[in-house]
Structure 1
Amino acid sequence: MSAPHEEDDLVPSSTPGYKPSAAKSVDEYAKLDAEDESLARWKASLGIVPGASAAAASGPKVTILSLELASPTLPQGKHLVMDLQNPTEVASLKKNPVTIKEGVEYNVRIKFKVNHSIISGVRYIQVVKRAGVTVDKMEQMLGSYGPHPNGEAYIKNFDTEESPSGMLARSGTYNVRSRVVDDDREVYADWEWSFKIGKDW
């Protein structure tokens, strides 16, 4: 069970005065301003076409497939990808820390699939703690998407960051809680993992 203040860290920030609009189905969005040709083309590029929600809209609106740490300094052929559809791998993420090289630029890349409906205001939130103390929090907007016309996944690259360096940074393990949540606080994924800072990858 998570502590109440930890849950507060994972609540998306809000913009004063902004109130999310009521959720609409893909068909409802498709019929809005149907006479506007340029808008119709844009909506079609998002997979918003009349009849698109005729298929059963069951299951989660969004499936988070993987989270990757990408860096130009990674050795050839080495990939730091968390397969979030593999329950065994997800269970081991907390116990088996990922090693991140100190003082290098890297970015987080998330791969997800929109199954039905339109998503908006969806964010990736990451809280990093060491010895129980919060040392970093990241909140990145994924954006707004409809189901991909070909059923393909979307990939979102986050801003480039630099890993900490020095002996102090290299001591201990960093524990991370990651969550994908929308403006209505609907949680699409929530998992824990850990990393260490090392002299090399």
Structure 2
Amino acid sequence: MSDFERAHAFTARWEGGYANHAADPGGETNLGVTRRVWEAWARERGLPVKTMRELTLADVLPLYQARYWSAASRLPWPLSGVAYDIAVNHGPGNLAQMLAQVPSAGTARDRAGQLIDVREAFYRGIVRSRPSQGVFLGGWLNRVTAQRAWLKDQQEPLPAPRLFLRAMDGSNVLWDGKPTIYNGTRLTAYPDGALQLERTGD
């Protein structure tokens, strides 16, 4: 399962079926996609503009990946998973503003937890500025609580194995984990910490 698929598995729990709540400024929505976003996406790509009730997961997954996962995919896991759900719910622009409030130091897990805290403050700020949105606050905070629980279950990629290579001048150099060929052997590190050694025949 790709990181995108893992991230969307959480998001899909909260971006369910058809909705058209009078207090929701997004208006008509299905599978987490608003009518405005769906129709713009379909027209840009020459796709049939289905009605909102007709949408299927196969219709919207390419949109999710292109518009929302792209805003999070360069971040390390599980920070990328938290960021993706925020991009879907609040938009990539708001995600960027929230990420700017999270220190760059620390592990991906720690930063993801801080990002969730920023998200909760964002939700509460919406209600302070627009009290009519208070009808949604309970559901929003449930999503925050679920995301914190989800984060506890995620594992960060293990660091690349510590391996020293002999440089041309005879000194030992710590391998940076990037694929390379050393003395006729291809070295590859995987996110789970495994190391593959493969003779190249050179």
Using the size of structure 1 for normalisation, the TM-score is: 0.23
- Structure with the largest fraction of helix: 2
Answer with 1 or 2: which has the greater Rg: 2
Q: TM-score, normalised by structure 2?
A: 0.23
